[in-house]
Amino acid sequence: MRLIKKIMLGLLIILILIQFIQPIRNNGSMISSTDLTKTMHVPENVQSILKIACYDCHSNNTNYPWYSRVQPFGWLLAKHIRNGKTEINFNEFGSYSLRRQISKLSGIAKSIEKETMPLSSYKLLHKNARLSEEDKTLLIGWATRTKDSLSMNH
């Protein structure tokens, strides 16, 4: 019994200590000149879906939930954001080569179609990010049309 108590106490102390290790927050400049919406025409309804469901991990500005202050959840979030931004950063979309923009748009359409994005762990806590069938059709349609028009001008 005493051993279990000691272990529990040890875990509690670790849990308290890790709260002091807060990851750097992803809050860059508000809207950069290379943002997707500054680079090409994006319909309002598509913009709002992207901002609600994608920008938290795929831009330089995250709208943080309260639990991001609680570790280890904050670390997990920071890791998702880091990976998300490497995959695609909507704030920097304009700086990608045309070829890469086309690839990214095709990736957006595919990942939404196959429901690999938004991540299910993200959707669990963000009701807004659970895309309806209409939202999906809208996004896929937009990404595909934009991709095709970029490819034609290439």
Residue 8 neighbours by CB under 8 Å, 6+ apart: none
Q: Determine if 99 is a binding residue for other proteins (CB under 8 A).
A: yes
* CA nearest neighbour of 99 among 26, 150, 141: 150
Identify which of residues 110 and 123 has a Cβ nearer to other proteins in the complex: 110
State which of residues 38, 69, 82, 100 lies at the interface with other proteins (CB under 8 A). Answer: 100
3-state secondary structure 92-142: HHHHCCHHHHHHHHHHHHHHHHCCCCCCHHHHHHCHHHCCCHHHHHHHHHH
Min separation Cβ 83 and other proteins, Å: 11
Q: Among residues 78 and 104, whose Cβ is nearest to other proteins?
A: 104
Among 37, 39, 47, 106, binds other proteins (CB under 8 A): 106
Peptide bond before residue 65 is cis, with ω within 30 degrees of 0: no
Q: Contact between 83 and other proteins (CB under 8 A)? A: no
Residue 73 sits in the site that holds other proteins (CB under 8 A)? no
| DSSP per-residue codes, 20-41 | T-PPPP-B--SS-TTSHHHHS-
State in angstroms the smallest separation of the CB of 116 from other proteins: 9
Return the range that interacts with other proteins (CB under 8 A); candidates 15-23, 37-45, 92-100, 128-136: 92-100
Sole window of 10-18, 36-44, 50-58, 100-108 interacting with other proteins (rule: CB under 8 A): 100-108
Q: How far apart are CA 77 and CA 139, in angstroms?
A: 24
The residues of the shown chain that bind other proteins, judged by CB under 8 A, are: 96-100, 103, 106, 110
